[in-house]
Chain A
Amino acid sequence: GQSLEQPSEVTAVEGAIVQINCTYQTSGFYGLSWYQQHDGGAPTFLSYNALDGLEETGRFSSFLSRSDSYGYLLLQELQMKDSASYFCAVSADSWGKFQFGAGTQVVVTP
Chain B
Amino acid sequence: EAGVTQFPSHSVIEKGQTVTLRCDPISGHDNLYWYRRVMGKEIKFLLHFVKESKQDESGMPNNRFLAERTGGTYSTLKVQPAELEDSGVYFCASSQSMNTEAFFGQGTRLTVV
Contact = CB atoms under 8 A, between A and B. Distances in A.
A102 B91 CA distance: 15
Contact of A97 (B3, B48, B97, B105): B48
A4 B98 contact: no
Interface residues of B, number: 29
Nearest to B55: A95
Interface string B31-42: 101010000111
A48 interface: yes
B106 A42 contact: yes
B103 A45 contact: yes
A30 interface: yes
Size bracket, chain A contacts: 20 to 34
B4 interface: yes
B101 A48 contact: yes
B45 A97 contact: yes
A67 interface: no
B56 interface: yes
Given A95-B55, A96-B48, A101-B42, A45 B99 contact: no
B16 to A, nearest CB: 28
A23 B40 CA distance: 19
Interface in A18-64: 30-31, 33, 35, 40-45, 48, 50
Contacts of B113: none
Contacts of B55: 95
Interface in B85-104: 91, 93, 95, 97-104
A36 to B, nearest CB: 11
B44 interface: yes
Interface in B16-55: 31, 33, 35, 40-45, 48, 50, 55
A98 interface: yes
Interface of B: 3-4, 31, 33, 35, 40-45, 48, 50, 55-56, 91, 93, 95, 97-107
